[in-house]
Amino acid sequence: MRPSGRDFNALRQVSIETGFSRHAEGSALIRMGNTEVLCTASVEGRVPPFMRGQGEGWVTAEYGMLPRATHTRGDREAARGKQSGRTQEIQRLIGRSLRAVVDRKAMGEITVTLDCDVLNADGGTRCASITGAYVAMVMAFRKLRTNNVIKSMPMIGQVAAVSCGIFQGNPVLDLDYAEDSGADADANFILTAAGGIVEIQATAEKYTFDEASFNALLGLARKGTMELFAAQKAALG
């Protein structure tokens, strides 16, 4: 029995609301159960110095968590003066995941920065960030396309992410905090609608696991991301 009473292969309730941010070129407020992440896509008409003159665009991401998104208040990273290793790891993952579905040559020399800020946390924030950031990014590219800044949509795939894990010996889909904090193992799957693997991060927490378990998790992730792809499409109209 899962703490939430969900079936082993059930996602939490998902909603994706576009346009929450009044200024960003694209934005999506994604909710997966009690996890809520505000994803914005900001466009800048140039690329970082190390990429100039190559005729390609850049997609990057930053991640943050409001201090009281969590059960007990966490330090504000801006006040502490540095981002944690966890934060950096997550924002690097988001950036890689989104770059995997963009033709950067088709972007031209512009930068899209995806800011994913967790307003409420209940597990799975990095996966929700990727799923929401995809929507925000598409919104931003549409705006650029409408304004003729780009000639065609540079998307070459649709990406979403979900975490799965082994909880009390059973593979389950879309861990919430109660499950995540006590899982035997967990894994984040970043997959494309075309069936490709963008990234897999699987980690033994309490016990090492075998290939059969791993394959069960991957199977759940396939199912879960199918539903997320549908939610993204619905949000994008």
Q: How far is the CB of 42 from a copy of itself (least distance, A)?
A: 4
In the bound state with a copy of itself, the residue whose beta carbon lies nearer, of 84 and 170, is: 84
Partner residues linked to 112 by β-bridges: 43, 59
Are β-strands 111-120 and 26-32 bridged in parallel, bridged antiparallel, or unpaired?
Answer: unpaired
Type of residue at 187: A
Around Cβ 199, how many Cβ atoms within 10 Å? 15
| Touching a copy of itself, residues 195-224 (CB under 8 A) | 195-204, 207-211, 214, 218
Q: Would you say 154 and 103 are in contact if contact means Cβ atoms under 8 Å apart? A: yes
Q: Which is nearer to a copy of itself, 7 or 75 (CB)?
A: 75
Residue 220 to residues 94, 179, 181: CA-CA distances in angstroms? 21, 16, 19
230 near a copy of itself, rule: CB under 8 A: no
Q: Closest Cα to residue 60, out of 19, 104, 18? A: 104
Cβ proximity to a copy of itself, 106 vs 218, nearer residue: 218
- Taking the least distance from each CB to a copy of itself, the nearer of 7 and 92 is 92
Answer for which of 13, 15, 48, 92 binds a copy of itself (CB under 8 A) is 92
- 80 assigned ligand-binding residue: no
Residue whose pair of structure tokens reads 């969900």 in the numeric block = 6
Q: Which of 13, 15, 54, 88 binds a copy of itself (CB under 8 A)?
A: 88
User: For residues 164 and 199, is the Cβ–Cβ distance under 8 A?
Assistant: no
Give the whole-angstrom CA distance, residue 35 versus residue 70.
10
Closest CA to 158 of 104, 233, 222, 90: 233
126 is in an annotated binding site: yes
Residue 86 labeled ligand binder: yes
Binding region for a copy of itself (CB under 8 A) out of 9-17, 80-88, 127-135, 224-232: 80-88
> C-beta of 101: minimal distance to a copy of itself in Å?
9
**Packed helices 85-99 and 125-146: angle between N→C axes, nearest 10 degrees:** 40
Residues 165-184, one symbol each (x = binds a copy of itself by CB under 8 A, - = not), give --------------------
Cβ–Cβ under 8 Å, residues 82 and 114: no
The DSSP bridge pattern shows strands 58-65 and 159-167 to be unpaired
Query: Would you count residue 4 as binding a copy of itself (CB under 8 A)?
Result: no
Is 123 known as a binding-site position? no
* Residue list, annotated binding site: 86, 124-126
Binding residues for a copy of itself, rule: CB under 8 A, are 20-24, 27, 34, 38, 40, 42, 44, 62, 64, 66-73, 76-79, 81-83, 85-89, 91-92, 96, 100, 113, 115, 117, 119-122, 157, 187, 192, 194-204, 207-211, 214, 218
Residues at the binding site for phosphate are 86, 124-126
